[in-house]
Chain A
Amino acid sequence: AQSVSQHNHHVILSEAASLELGCNYSYGGTVNLFWYVQYPGQHLQLLLKYFSGDPLVKGIKGFEAEFIKSKFSFNLRKPSVQWSDTAEYFCAVNAQGVQNTGFQKLVFGTGTRLLVSP
């Protein structure tokens, strides 16, 4: 079965520090990759997504992610974090669902809680 691994469960940074959150997936076929963010008390929001093309994807709020196919990775980065980036971050990958429909379901990692201290 497809799976997504997020290696860091909790990350604590000071403001202006650089951020990199790891994400690896296990799936041998073509993938669509996503990073979602959940701010305290809010619903999941899409940060960025990769479907095809340039493997370096830029998202909202200064985030970017790089798809490295040979490493099955899609790490999230931000050069300088802010206190407002405190949130939980989820990596997700499309996985094949029902046979013959082309339908794809989203499989999530366990999430990384980021705390940015002012």
Chain B
Amino acid sequence: DVKVTQSSRYLVKRTGEKVFLECVQDMDHENMFWYRQDPGLGLRLIYFSYDVKMKEKGDIPEGYSVSREKKERFSLILESASTNQTSMYLCASSGTSRGYTFGSGTRLTVV
């Protein structure tokens, strides 16, 4: 089975901190994604990457950046965390089969 691993299940950070969320997949997938999930809003795409060192903005990229130095790893960076970035963050990957596999999520609280 494809496995998508997010390094932290829960995180608590202070306002203004720089935050790194890590995601690793083990199936050599080309495409990786970062979503945030909020009640009543569903999943919203923050950034995605279709190749190493390639990245594209999703629907809500403001306040975030990403890094993909290796194919298996896709990092989401909150440059200066704010309370409105408190959310569940989901990483996903997909290959040519067009199916998506999600990680178990990181629940980030910014205080």
Contact = CB atoms under 8 A, between A and B. Distances in A.
Contacts, number: 52
Nearest to A111: B42
B45 A94 contact: no
Given A98-B50, A101-B50, A103-B50, A110 B98 contact: no
A108 B104 contact: no
Nearest to A34: B100
Interface string B46-68: 00101000001010000000000
A7 interface: no
Contacts of A103: 31, 50
Q: How large is the interface on B (under 10, 10 to 19, 20 to 34, 35 or more residues)?
A: 20 to 34
A94 B50 contact: no
A90 B43 contact: yes
B90 A44 contact: yes
Interface string B64-106: 0000000000000000000000000010101000111011110
B42 A108 contact: yes
A103 B94 CA distance: 11
Contacts of A92: 43
Given A45-B102, A98-B56, 5 more contacts: A43-B103, A103-B31, A103-B50, A110-B40, A110-B41
Interface of B: 31, 33, 35, 40-45, 48, 50, 56, 58, 90, 92, 94, 98-100, 102-105
